[in-house]
């Protein structure tokens, strides 16, 4: 019987899932910092690896632009959202996230290439916006406790991304934000049922109430008459074509052929 305390096995699995999700997100963030460190050490800018809209060569940036940042401040502003939202996504929806992340990466770059201004669009902000809208849309569409909790935490921390998908500041790629957000919504709607909902915990009082209801139902069934199907059959109608059988009772006298009841001897009586 569940006394309301967490299952130790479930806690260990939860901790393991959190650790794996955090290490994956932290590994990607470390890659971004390593690339920026190499750029700084060799004093070579990598903005040429960004997305250049409507330029055929600029399509290379669809794959490389999220890895490049224009400044340390730009990298710092993108690191924490990637770390937090990536961990939440991989923990709560591991199956859907493995499909959503490549989709957000590619669609945000292609969308920016189609609608972006004539400039080099770089940075992982499109991926961060995609993850935010991915998690929030899943919470609304799945509407189960853990998804709602993850969506609320996401909105509480990064709800301001709703504003940054529109043109606000010069030099900020709102096109990357907008297309990343749209890709996150599409990915959430496509794979919202890919990850099963976690099993609902049953507490001791819920189990006790269920046992009481079952006992009451059994007690009430003892006083109900049996169903017709459970009553044994005492007589079966003879099938068509069977000849009727006459049962002779003890003491009966057989009548003579052709004799009527009036021809029989009357019963004798005894006087006392």
Model pLDDT for residues 214-268, shown as the tens digit of each residue: 777 776 666 666 666 666 666 666 666 656 666 666 655 555 555 555 555 555 5
Q: What is the model's pLDDT at position 269?
A: 46
* The predicted structure's pLDDT at residue 251: 58
Q: Side-chain half-sphere of 48: how many Cα atoms within 13 Å?
A: 4
pLDDT for the residue numbered 17: 93
Regions in the chain scoring below 70 on pLDDT: 1-9, 200-207, 219-272
d(CA 182, CA 186): 6
CA–CA distance, 159 with 147 (Å, rounded to integer): 16
| This prediction's pTM | 0.73
**What local confidence, expressed as pLDDT, does residue 271 receive?**
46
Computed over every residue of the chain, the mean pLDDT equals 84
């Amino acid at each position: 019987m569940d006394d309301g305390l967490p299952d130790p096995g479930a806690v260990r699995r939860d901790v393991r899932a959190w650790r794996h999700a955090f290490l994956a997100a932290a590994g990607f963030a470390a890659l971004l910092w390593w690339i920026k460190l190499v750029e700084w050490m060799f004093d070579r800018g990598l903005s040429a690896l960004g997305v250049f809209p409507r330029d055929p060569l600029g399509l290379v940036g669809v794959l490389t632009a999220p890895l490049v940042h224009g400044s340390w401040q730009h990298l710092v502003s993108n690191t924490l959202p990637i770390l937090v939202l990536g961990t939440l996504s991989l923990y709560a929806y591991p199956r859907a996230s493995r499909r959503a992340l490549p989709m957000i990466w590619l669609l945000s770059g292609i969308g920016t290439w189609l609608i972006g201004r004539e400039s080099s669009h770089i940075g992982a902000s499109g991926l961060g916006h995609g993850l935010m809208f991915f998690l929030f849309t899943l919470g609304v569409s799945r509407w189960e406790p853990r998804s709602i909790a993850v969506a609320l935490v996401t909105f509480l921390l990064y709800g301001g991304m709703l504003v940054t998908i529109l043109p606000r500041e010069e030099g900020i790629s709102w096109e990357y934000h907008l297309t990343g957000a749209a890709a996150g919504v599409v990915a959430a709607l496509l794979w919202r049922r890919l990850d099963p909902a976690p099993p609902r915990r049953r507490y001791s009082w819920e189990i006790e109430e269920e046992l009481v209801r079952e006992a009451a139902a059994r007690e009430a069934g003892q006083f109900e008459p049996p169903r017709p199907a459970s009553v044994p059959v005492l007589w079966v109608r003879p099938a068509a074509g069977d000849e009727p059988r006459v049962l002779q009772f003890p003491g009966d006298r057989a009548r003579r052929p052709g004799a009527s009841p009036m021809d029989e001897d009357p019963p004798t009586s005894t006087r006392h």
